[in-house]
Chain A
Amino acid sequence: MKTETTHCEEYHELILLADSGELTHDSRRELDMHLRDCPACAQYQNDIRRIIHDSREALPGGLPSEQTVSNIIAHAGNRHGRIIFFTQPWRAVAGIAAVLAVVMTTYIAFQTPEQRTGTSAYEAGDLHVMIALASEGESEIPASDSAGSDDAQLKELAGRLLRFQGFNTEESEDPEDITDLFLPTALQLRNTREFPEETNV
């Protein structure tokens, strides 16, 4: 059998729960009924409410300094980018793509023409000799129909070579293919120029 004290101590717990808003409606009604009939518990409720109120005022409290709050927000701002990066994949992908684009652009911009075309310095030199030969031949070729046709062909090839050297990146032919095309024509023109009379005779 419960003593009166034990019985009241159970209500003391209910008083605490009522003040913290954790009491069910039914328990609250039961507590109110008890408090009406028990002056000791009613006094206990008054006392602890007063102690809690006064303690709330008396104990150290206040707020953190503005500087502390600013430091926290600044830290959150720094960290925020990383959170976004890992929680939103599309942003991460866009970020990686942007970095790659910058790296590729920088790499291409600082490449030499030889690196860009993939030809060696020696091969490029050969092409220059051939262009010079072609130009020389162009100025001395007779204005016959066949020679005119060769001339046009030569000009076109020379133009393609020049474009290939970096003046026009739209051309993408393999340098070896161009050399194969260009060299026989250049040699033929050279022979024509060097031995025209013998050929005619």
Chain B
Amino acid sequence: MTTTQTALLISGIGMGTVFLVLGFFAVLIKLMVAAFAEKTATPAGSEPGGDKPKAKEVKVMAGGSGLRDNSAQDGPPGHVVGAISAVLASYLGPDVRFRIASIRPAGGSGMATFSRWALAGRLAQVGTRELFGFRRGL
């Protein structure tokens, strides 16, 4: 066999084996995750067999120039609410929904920006429409 033929054979076997091994890992991980799933404790306040517990919710109230459209001199619009929520989120974990509210009637632009850069994954779950729904909520 020439060097190229040998390389071709090795490439075929190599790629095939990489797929097999990683595919095997994928199945094994699925099985392990299912077998060792953490049992969630009944949340305080909810009766066994009763209503579903309410989702934890945090209201973030923020105001100031960070929420205004023309706030470039103070930082990006939404930076105040973004910074507060990012810190909160890192402490509270993934199960917490965020209600964002402005103490002033303005704030749409800032919140939209915030949804883009501050807490992308979390707000993706909440949804910007819902986010806007709360903007004058408090």
Say whether A associates with B: no
| B residues lining the A interface (CB < 8 Å) | none
